[in-house]
Amino acid sequence: MKKTTLSIGTLLLATAFLFTGCEDKKDADDDHNDEFTIEFSYEPNPATVNTEISFTFKIEDDHGEHVEGLMHTECEFEMTGMDAVEMELTEDPTDHGHYLGTATFTMAGEYEVHFEYMHGDEMNHMSATATFTVQ
């Protein structure tokens, strides 16, 4: 199983400030300004055209704790000049902090990964530099 890690904390922090403005205080339980790390794996590996690919996204905060309860989690795979492949994710009920989804790709190539989720009252859009290749 291939794993790819995306460190998107700086983008998350900038996005959080855009959505909330400048706040002077932070509650101890308010973790949506933390840096998140997203690691994803997929099967089968290698990914092939016209085959359903199962993805698992593991999301951790900057303390290494799994981030649970994210809402409206979606992932988009984009290839330059092509329609994006979109995938809705659901939290794994047996492995909290892990989000599952499936997608089928009709074109081989390298895709850029974009991740979107709602944490607290904020919708966060993340563009990551990681790529995913379909053969």
pTM, entire model: 0.69
Q: Bridge partners of 43?
A: 54
20 vs 97, which has greater pLDDT?
97
CB 116 within 8 A of CB 126: yes
**The predicted structure's pLDDT at residue 52:** 96
What average pLDDT does the segment 106-111 reach?
Answer: 91
For 66-103, how does the pLDDT look when each residue is reduced to its tens digit (9 = 90+)? 988 888 888 889 888 888 899 999 999 888 889 999 99
Categorize the per-residue pLDDT at 61 as very low, low, confident or very high, splitting at 50, 70 and 90.
confident
122 vs 14, which has greater pLDDT?
122
Q: Which domains, from first to last, does the chain contain?
A: 2-134 (2.60.40.1930)
∠ CA 110-123-33, rounded to 5°:
95
Secondary structure class of 16 (helix, strand, coil)? helix
Categorize the per-residue pLDDT at 20 as very low, low, confident or very high, splitting at 50, 70 and 90.
very low
For 32-54, how does the pLDDT look when each residue is reduced to its tens digit (9 = 90+)? 445 788 888 999 999 999 999 99
